[in-house]
């Protein structure tokens, strides 16, 4: 059965197009369990769901995390938090960046926890300590004054380079010193510093809480030095997202045929070209060709020509019999091979975070737990089978 047929059989609408993201909610919950095993029972596990849950879908991911042991959801902006509340999400929510002064009443009314900023520093807010990322937060030498005025609910910082042992150690030293200098005024506050990179390198103390972002979605930073005793945990992580499609056309062409805009690729032999309905309008950027590939019938084929807004071509000459009923994988696993976010990041000279978060909202997201379809998100809205997606 095609994915559209499976969706209809499950009581959901068919796909509006032959390209979709599959979001594995079992894998998501598995990854939470992995980090819980890694950090032990006590630190609060906070799930970072900003940027549409790293492209996976803000509301469906938040719902799926509801009974998984996550203490709080972390977002980047007040509107992300309000979106969760409007969807009926009752979990604690922390906004990691300072909110505009005009949004303070909204945060208070909706029970949304906020991070102190230069203008919005108020009682009960959390305080980010700028220990070296130099992006946001309160500098250590100003922390004592801020804490004396607002009695923060938490103190936290963010590590700039978890792969660098020396710089990470220095940030931790600055954080500990800053917290120690304010203890008498701050009273008992929660501290959180560790995220995916620091936990998997064993370079960040857990304190009272940890914030899991990339690892929650089964992904890891490029070239992260993972110690041997942590490696078994990393190997248990499962990617949550896959990008699949079915071709719009499969056609043969003679040698010498130019393919795509600008004729940047020319067939050196008689070739069979499959047009796939995914392009840079979906977040599958132009930098993926040349260099990236696709999986079809369990075999890897190259992408050729220029990635267009709505399509990219694959050379399937060496895979006999490919037709319109075949499913292609551009991110994920098929047969014994897989295309990972880390691999795609290297092709376009970026990081796995950008690969998944750049997936366009217009790509349908199919939510499943194992083989069971749970829900569908399209531009027309969200549709669920059980209400758990």
- pLDDT tens track for 124-141: 789 999 999 999 999 999
| Whether pLDDT at 389 is above 50 | no
In this structure, are strands 72-75 and 44-48 parallel, antiparallel, or unpaired?
parallel
pLDDT at 187: 54
Q: What are phi and psi of 360, to 5 degrees?
A: -65, 150
Instruction: Residue 312: name the closest of 283, 274, 341 by CA.
Output: 274
| Active-site residue, selected from the candidate residues 54, 144, 190, 261 | 261
Catalytic residue at 288?
no
For the residues 244-272, what does the mean pLDDT come to?
97
pLDDT tens readout for residues 273-283? 999 999 999 99
Indicate whether 121 pLDDT > 80.
no
Phi, psi for 291 (deg, rounded to 5): 125, -40
- Residue 27's closest CA among 369, 313, 382? 369
Q: Cα torsion for 161, 167, 170, 172, to the nearest 10°? A: 20
pLDDT of residue 189: 80
Distance (Å, rounded) from C-alpha 328 to C-alpha 245? Answer: 5
Which pLDDT band holds residue 388 (cuts at 50, 70, 90)?
A: very low
| Those residues with Cβ within 8 angstroms of residue 250's Cβ, 6 or more apart along the chain or in another chain | 272, 273, 274, 275, 316, 322, 323, 324, 326
Residue 120's pLDDT band (cuts 50, 70, 90): low
Catalytic entry in 50, 54, 288, 367? 50
| 144 belongs to the catalytic site | no
* Band (28; pLDDT cuts 50, 70, 90): very high
Instruction: Report whether the peptide linkage leading into residue 134 is cis, meaning its omega lies within 30 degrees of zero.
Output: no
Q: Tell me the C-alpha to C-alpha distance, in Å, between residue 96 and each of 128, 214, 268.
A: 8, 16, 53
Mean model confidence pLDDT for the chain: 94
Confidence of residue 105 (pLDDT cuts 50, 70, 90): very high
pTM for the whole structure: 0.94
Identify the residue whose tokens are 């075999």.
299
Total H helices, total E strands in the chain: 12, 21
* Higher pLDDT, residue 186 or 66: 66
Report d(CA 326, CA 196) in Å as an integer. Answer: 36
Nearest of 239, 243, 270, 267 to residue 254 by alpha carbon: 270
pLDDT band at 313; cut points 50, 70, 90: very high
């Amino acid at each position: 059965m095609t994915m559209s047929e499976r969706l209809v059989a499950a009581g959901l609408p068919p796909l509006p197009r032959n390209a979709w993201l599959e979001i594995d909610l079992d894998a998501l919950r598995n990854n939470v369990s992995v980090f819980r095993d890694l950090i032990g029972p006590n630190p609060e596990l906070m799930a970072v769901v900003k940027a549409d849950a790293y492209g996976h879908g803000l509301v469906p991911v938040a719902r799926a995390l509801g009974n998984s042991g996550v203490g709080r959801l972390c977002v980047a902006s007040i509107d992300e938090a309000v979106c969760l509340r409007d969807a009926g999400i009752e979990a604690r929510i922390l906004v990691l960046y300072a909110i505009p002064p005009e949004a303070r009443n909204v945060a208070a009314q909706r029970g949304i926890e906020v991070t102190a900023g230069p203008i919005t520093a108020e009682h009960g807010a959390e305080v980010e300590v700028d220990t070296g990322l130099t992006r946001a937060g309160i500098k250590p030498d100003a922390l004592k004054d801020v804490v004396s005025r607002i009695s923060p609910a938490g103190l936290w910082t963010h590590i700039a380079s978890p792969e660098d042992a020396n710089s990470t150690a220095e940030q931790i030293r600055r954080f500990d010193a800053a917290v120690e200098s304010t203890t008498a005024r701050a009273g008992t506050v929660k501290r959180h510093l560790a995220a995916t990179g620091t936990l998997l390198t064993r370079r960040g103390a857990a304190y009272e809480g940890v914030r899991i972002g990339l690892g929650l979605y089964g992904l890891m930073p490029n070239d992260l030095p993972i110690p041997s005793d942590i490696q078994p945990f990393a190997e248990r992580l499962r990617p949550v997202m896959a990008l699949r499609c079915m071709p719009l056309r499969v056609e043969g062409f003679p040698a010498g045929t130019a393919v795509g805009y600008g004729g940047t690729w020319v067939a050196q032999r008689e070739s069979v070209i499959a047009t796939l309905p995914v392009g840079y309008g979906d977040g599958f950027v132009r930098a993926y060709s040349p260099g990236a590939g696709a999986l079809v019938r369990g075999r890897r084929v190259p992408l050729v020509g220029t990635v267009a807004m709505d399509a990219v071509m694959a050379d399937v000459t060496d895979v006999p019999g490919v037709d319109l009923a075949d499913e292609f994988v551009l991110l994920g696993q098929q047969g014994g091979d897989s295309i990972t976010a880390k691999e795609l990041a290297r092709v376009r000279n970026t990081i796995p975070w950008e690969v998944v978060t750049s997936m366009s909202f217009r790509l349908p997201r199919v939510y499943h737990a194992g083989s069971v379809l749970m829900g569908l998100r399209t531009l027309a809205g969200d549709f669920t089978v059980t209400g758990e997606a």
